Amino acid sequence: MSPCPPARRCSWPASRTPRCSSRSRRSRLSDLPDPGGAVISAGCREAAEVGAAVLASGGNAVDAAIAASAVQCVRELPWCGLGGDAFALVSGPEGRLEALNGAGAVPTALATASIPGGRLPRFGPLSISVPGLVDAWWRLWERHGSRPFAALIEPAAELADEGFALDDAFARALDRVRAAVGPDDPFVAEFCEGNGSAAGDGFRLPALARTLREIAAGGPAAFYTGSLASNLVSTLDRLGGLLSADDLAAHSCDFEAPITVRYGSAEVSVTPPVSMGWVLLQQLLLYERLDGRLIDGEADRIDLMVRCKHAAFSDLAGMPRWQEASDVTAVLGEDSLDRWCSIIEDQRRSVLATVGAPAAPGPAGGTDTTCLSVVDGRGLMVTFIHSLFNEFGSRVVVPGTGIVLNDRLAKQPARVDRNGGSDRPRRPLHTLVGYHVAHRGRRLVGATPGGRGQVQTNFQVLRAIIDDGADPQAAVDGPRWLSGAPRLPDADDLLFLEPGFPPHLGSELARRGHPVAADGAASDNDLFGSCTIAGAGPQRSETFGAADHRRGAALVTVTREETP
């Protein structure tokens, strides 16, 4: 397994305008009031460089996150966009935490709609929930931003206008969706006409550039109540969708308290429901309670970790309507943990038996996500994860805007109580998770794409960092396992082992009862995520990060230029 490329260090001379791009990658921190360094790790190089330029010009971590995620909406269009949702976890210089729930609600009309088959379709107008991303940007900026909002969005608009070269992953996604929707679909007119389709070809998004500038000038009102909203609703009305103008106008993101547990000598915090972050915590707590931290052998360790995963996913499958942090209190409590530990201990005396009912836990698919993590020289750090759910989401575009809408309701039950017992509109379950770790004087934030594999990837990476004392980059680079392919809901127990594990590991796990996938089945990097991590030590200058090579994530370190 090849290591991640080394972090790029930026050091701009004072005479140059700090703007990182494919042509210009130098930056400076001379405007910062603090001598600390800054780090950004993002799902693509262009986003990391734009975020680094914001940091270099004196912007803070939230400024950088907004600018970088806007670039991702262009450069990583198949996996995120203005029609998607987002979650963020923010840690202040003194470690105070807050989470942003940027998930949109289900359409009001769904409560009374008649949907054939009892489940919503995977794609199309009925799979769309209220997009939350734009309001998430704005709420983060209002609370923490230090640079003009329009200035943070402009680099993304420039990239959309000027264009970029397609990479293999983007080209393949474009080809798959174009073939699926057919030549006459508005998707083709919006994204394919006038653009190349092979890796290396140029790709421009002038309509998306105009939309980004409209949002930059008008803020969330431009998207949720302005002409963009009118175009969005009229498009869905024409296609038979359920989302209304009232649904859009009523949307608002929420700042919430993260859920925090103690794992060994570390405090681990996650984004609360409707994020699946609590599943990560339950896995960690079960693993520690079963003395997993004392296990030396790799096969024994993975065996126990997978059993902990099955237990947590069984609870997930049994309670799909969780909306509030209070809904998961019992699951993370002593009685629940004791019950699962007893079940797992009994089963460890023999080969693996299916724990509970892990079949099809949570939404299927959804590996098509991206994320970023950033820390600035002041000690402010944020991880930001956003998604359309499946690649190009619902495949429904708002013509002339460059907006493709999410499919967050894919395969959800067709009849739902929109409020779900909560005081706020019901939001669909999200696989998106951001985490924060405080351990031995260091803090870090991170996230990964991967659908239902996110919490499994995070489980493995955090265990290595906390238990083994692994450097974050080494923890990210190590081979990973995945129990149940996110894209294959009929294979929820199949265990995938990434290349890089010892050759005998598969047979050892098979002897313990795990249905191990055949050699070669785990060669798809989409199965194993693409981690971004950023953190700081006790001194603000001690910043660090990690970027995953699996999908081309990039790490940029911004350093203060030495003064003669």
In this prediction, residue 562 carries a pLDDT of: 33
Q: Is the pLDDT of residue 418 over 60?
A: no
Q: Is the pLDDT of residue 438 over 50?
A: yes
Annotate 81-104 with DSSP letters as a single string. Answer: -TBSEEEEEEE-TT--EEEEEEPP
More confident position, 507 or 519:
507
- The more confident residue out of 177 and 27 is 177
pLDDT: is 153 or 110 the higher one? 153
Quick one: 55 and 133 in the same domain?
Answer: yes
Same structural domain, 313 and 450: no
pLDDT the model gives residue 493: 81
Q: What integer pLDDT is reported at residue 252 of this predicted model? A: 95
* Distance, CA of 123 to CA of 494 (rounded, Å): 26
Write down which residue in 319, 350, 381 finishes a domain: 350
> Nearest-5° angle of CA 492, CA 497, CA 501?
160
Task: Give the pLDDT of residue 425.
Answer: 63
- Helix (H) / strand (E) containing 190: helix 186-191
Residues 443 and 480 in one domain: yes
46 and 99 fall within a common domain: yes
**Is 192 domain-assigned?**
no
pLDDT at 341 (0 to 100): 96
Name the CA radius of gyration of the chain, rounded. 22
Q: Let me know whether 393 and 509 are in one domain.
A: yes
For residue 141, tell me if it sits in a domain: yes
Q: What is the mean pLDDT of the chain?
A: 87
Domain that holds residue 102: 42-163+204-258+368-558
Q: Does any domain span residue 2?
A: no
pLDDT attached to residue 327: 77
- Distance (Å, rounded) from C-alpha 292 to C-alpha 152? 45
Choose the most confident range, by mean pLDDT, from 80-94, 320-334, 532-546.
80-94
Residue 8 has pLDDT above 80, yes or no: no
Do 229 and 97 have their domain in common? yes
pLDDT of residue 415: 63
Whether residues 459 and 331 fall in one domain: no
Domain with residue 109: its CATH number is 3.60.20.40
Judge contact between 212 and 153, C-beta under 8 A. yes
**Are residues 278 and 251 part of one domain?**
no
Same domain, 111 and 214: yes
pLDDT grade for 429, boundaries at 50, 70 and 90: confident
Q: Is residue 442 part of a domain?
A: yes
Give the residue-averaged pLDDT of 472-480. Answer: 97
Per-residue CA distances from 97 to 36, 94, 382 (Å): 21, 9, 10
Nearest CA to 432 out of 98, 46, 39, 102 is that of 102
- Does 372 map to a domain? yes
- The answer on 393 and 297 residing in a single domain is no
Could you list the beta-strand ranges (E) of 220-321. 254-256, 259-263, 266-270
Q: What is the predicted pLDDT for the residue at 509?
A: 96
Helix residue ranges per DSSP H, 368-488: 454-467, 472-477
Range among 105-109, 139-143, 411-415, 419-423 rated most confident: 139-143
Confidence of residue 22 (pLDDT cuts 50, 70, 90): very low
Residue 98 included in any domain: yes
Lay out the sheet containing 532-536: strands in order across.
Answer: 259-263, 266-270, 434-439, 442-447, 532-536, 543-547
Domain count, the chain: 2
**pLDDT, tens digit (0-9, with 9 covering 90-100), for 211-231:** 999 999 999 999 999 999 999
Residue 492 has pLDDT above 60, yes or no: yes
According to the model, what pLDDT value does residue 317 have?
Answer: 74
- Higher-confidence residue of 94 and 98: namely 98
Least confident among 225-239, 316-330, 384-398, 441-455? 316-330
In a domain, 282, yes or no: yes
The more confident residue out of 257 and 25 is 257
Within-domain flag for 265 = no
- Alpha carbon 280 to its chain's center: 14
Model confidence pLDDT, tens digit, residues 525-557: 678 999 999 999 988 778 999 999 999 999 999
User: Model confidence at 489, in pLDDT bands (50, 70, 90)?
Assistant: very low
pLDDT value at 6 more than 80:
no
272 within 8 A of 134, measured Cβ to Cβ: no
Last residue of a domain, one of 350, 376, 402: 350
User: Band of the pLDDT at 163, cuts 50, 70, 90?
Assistant: very high
Which tokens in the block code for residue 522? Answer: 């785990």
Task: Kindly provide the residue ranges of all beta strands, DSSP E only, lying in 416-553, ordered along the sequence.
Answer: 434-439, 442-447, 481-483, 495-497, 532-536, 543-547
231 and 330, same domain (yes or no):
no
Identify the domain boundary among 293, 324, 350.
Answer: 350
Distance CA(372)–CA(68), nearest Å, equals 8
User: Do 379 and 328 share a domain, yes or no?
Assistant: no
Sheet order of strands, 554-558 included: 8-10, 554-558, 38-42, 368-375, 381-389, 85-91, 97-102, 254-256
Q: Determine how many CB atoms are found less than 10 A away from the CB of residue 360.
A: 15
